[in-house]
Amino acid sequence: MNFWTDRRVAVTGGAGFLGRSVMRKLRERGCLQVYAPRSRDHDLREQEAVKRMYERARPDLVIHLAGSVGGIGANQRYPGRFFYDNLMMGAHLLEQARRFDVPKFVGIGSVCAYPKATPVPFREENLWDGYPEETNAAYGLAKKMMLVQGQAYRAEFGFNAIHLLLSNLYGPGDNLDPETSHGLASMVRKFVDARNQGHDHVTLWGDGSPTREFLYVEDAAEGILLASELYDLPEPINLGSGVEISISDLASKIRNLSGFAGRVRWDRNRPNGQPRRCVDVTRARKHFGFEAATTLDEGLQKMISWYEKQPPRE
C-alpha cells in the first residue's frame, strides 16, 4: 500500500476496457494522484500532445494501456492504422518519459508479438524466433518495438522500462462492436442475441481448431499493478492464465452458459488466425507472485450476465 499512496501515476487508455479495471484497482490501493489522458485532449500519436500530457501529469510511473486494437477482421482491415497508431504512441510516450525523467515506464505488449509457430507454452525467450501470424503481424510488431525501445533506453540511459505480454483479455465491459470486437466477445454477443431472437444457429469464423488462452480483465489489472510495483528487469514477462482451450470448445462453453439451444456453423472461408496460443506463466509467478484467480467458466458467466443486462443494440 505504501508504494502507491504518494505516487503520481499516468494511465494511458484509462477509460478503456482494461484501463477501467486498472484505475479501480489503483483507487483500492490508495493511489490518489492518477491522471488518465483522454484522446480528445491528448492525441498520443503526436509528440507535442504527449509533451503536454507529461507537463500536466508529472508522473512517477506511467502505465501505457492505450492502443488501436481489434479482432482478426479489424486487423485485416486496418493493418496500417494499427501499426502506425501503436508504434507512434509507444515511441512518443517512452521518449518523453525519458526526457521528463519519469522513474518507471510500464509498457503493455501483446501475445500477438510471438512468432506464428511458437511452441506451446510460449516462453519469453521464444519471442524473436520468427515472424508473427500474418493477420495480426502489424499490430504485434508495433507493440514489440516498444520492448526494443525500452531495452535500448535502459542500456543507454539507465531508463527503467518494463514490458508485459498480455494474453487475450475478456470480461464485463469488453468491446462488443461487430466491426472491431475480439473473438470471445463476439461469441458472447452472438450466442446471447441468437437465444433472445429465437435463431436456430450461430455462425463463427474458421473451423474451430485453433487454441487460445484467455485472461480475465480484473486478473490482468492485478498483474499489471504487481509488476509495476515489484518488477524492474529488462526481459519481457507473460501475463496469462496458462490454460489452453480450442475455439470449438470455447464456443461450446459459451453456448451452454448462455442457454442457446441451436447449432454452431463454422465459416471455413474466414481465417483461423494463429494455430495455437498459450503462454508460460512461470516468470510472472517467480518475479512478482502473479497467478490468474478467475477460472474461464467463472469469467464467462460474469461476462454473459453483464451482457444480458445491456440495452438492446440498434
**Does 139 qualify as catalytic in the annotation?**
yes
Cell numbers at residue 98, please? Answer: 525519458
Q: What is the Cα Rg of the chain in Å?
A: 19
Nearest to 132 by CA among 120, 123, 121, 142: 142
Q: What are phi and psi of 115, to 5 degrees?
A: -60, 155
Nearest to 265 by CA among 207, 211, 179: 207
**In whole angstroms, what is the distance from residue 267 CA to residue 147 CA?**
36
Q: Are 160 and 230 in contact (CB under 8 A)?
A: no
Nearest to 82 by CA among 11, 180, 200, 16: 180
Q: Are 178 and 193 in contact (CB under 8 A)?
A: no
Residues in the chain: 314
Among candidate residues 35, 114, 139, 231, the one labeled active-site is 139
Nearest to 234 by CA among 169, 173, 166, 158: 158
**In whole angstroms, what is the distance from residue 234 CA to residue 151 CA?**
6
- Specify burial of residue 267 (Cβ count, 10 A radius: 0-12, 13-18, 19+): exposed
Nearest to 45 by CA among 62, 67, 78: 67
Please identify every residue annotated as catalytic.
139
